[in-house]
Amino acid sequence: MTPMVELRGVHKSFGSLHVLRGVDLEVGQGQVLVIVGPSGSGKSTLLRTINHLEKVDRGSVRVDGHLLGYRQVGDRLLELPEREVLRQRTQIGFVFQAFNLFPHLTVQQNVMEAPLSAQRRPRGEVEPLAERLLARVGLADKAGAYPRTLSGGQQQRVVIARALALEPKLLLFDEPTSALDPELVGEVLDVIKDLARGGTTMIVVTHEIGFAREVADTVAFMDAGRIVELGPPAQILDAPAQDRTRTFLSKVL
């Protein structure tokens, strides 16, 4: 079976700052990968290359067997036209640390926007979908509310519903609970756990070690632009082989 996500030798620099230094990664269908690592190690940048919000300098990103953002001709990668890239992105849901809900649209309009305008699905089909998704994240009664009137935890659950509305093959979470008050973290993690149990493939960057232990099939520790080690949660979190991993875990636990 082709892996859902496959990165080969991915490099990325911002000017002279070499942020990703050769990342190889595979995530199987229905698997949950949790990435942990210190601030500035390149976790967000890595996630952003997976939906082509960030172009890679070298290496390749494949999602469900398809090259992302490029097509291969011989041994060269030619950039795809924007329309194609946008179509590829509709298969990948992205949940931001800072929510980034559209503040001038209601909760329901936020959820319906992408299926309507990116996938051109008929309104009659998208309305019940939005209703279902909002019920699933426990916000059926907030459809008409504006994001500003919701708590942080509720906003992040709307973001998840908005990402799910594209019915993506893959979900990417970039520190989904870091901007939340501690008592609101649980409600968002519960929604993510529920999705994981339902068999959605996902990559989650988080500092919630308990969550990683419970949900991850694989945990990757990232430092200075590389994946330092990777394995089942019990191995990485309880018996890491690398000193760097051990040092990091002793700080966050």
Partner 1 sequence: MMLPDLQAPPHQDAGRPLEVVTARRPLRWLAAVVVLVLLAMAASALVTNPAWEWDIVGQYLFAPSVVRSVLLTLELTALGIGLGFALGTVLALMRISPNRLLSSVAWGYVWLFRSVPLILQLLFWYNLALLYPRLSVGVPFGPGFFDFGTMDLIGPLTAAVLGLALHQAAYAAEIVRGGLLSVDHGQREAAAALGLPPARRLFRIILPQAMRTIVPNAGNEIIGLVKGTSVVYIMALPELFYQVQVIYNRNGRVMALLLVAAIWYLILTTVLSIVQHYVERYYGRGRA
Distance of closest approach, residue 12 Cβ to ligand ATP, in angstroms: 9
What are 64-72's contacts with CB under 8 Å, separation 24+?
64/2, 64/4, 64/91, 64/169, 64/170, 65/2
Q: Which of 4, 7, 19, 33 binds ligand ATP (CB under 6 A)?
A: 19
Residues of span 44-63 touching partner 1 by CB under 8 A: 51, 53
Site string for ligand ATP, 167-206 (x = CB under 6 A): ----------------------------------------
Query: Sheet holding 5-14: strands in order across?
Result: 17-27, 5-14, 58-63, 66-67
Question: DSSP string spanning 153-214?
Answer: HHHHHHHHHHHHTT--SEEEEESTTTTS-HHHHHHHHHHHHHHHHTT-EEEEE-S-HHHHHH
Which CB atom, from 10 or from 101, has the smaller least distance to partner 1? 101
Site string for ligand ATP, 36-65 (x = CB under 6 A): -x-xxxxxxx--------------------
Contact 225, 21 (CB under 8 A): yes
What SS3 class is residue 42? Answer: coil
What SS3 class is residue 84? Answer: helix
- Which residues contact residue 40 at a Cβ distance below 8 angstroms, ignoring those fewer than 6 apart? none
Which CB atom, from 69 or from 115, has the smaller least distance to ligand ATP? 69
Helix count and strand count (H, E) for the chain: 9, 12
Residues of span 116-175 touching partner 1 by CB under 8 A: 117-119, 146-149, 162-163, 166
Residues of span 147-166 touching ligand ATP by CB under 6 A: none
Please report whether residue 96 would count as binding partner 1 according to CB under 8 A.
yes
Which chain residues interact with partner 1 by CB under 8 A? 51, 53, 82-83, 86-90, 92, 94, 96, 98, 100-106, 113-114, 117-119, 146-149, 162-163, 166
Which chain residues interact with ligand ATP by CB under 6 A? 14, 17, 19, 37, 39-45
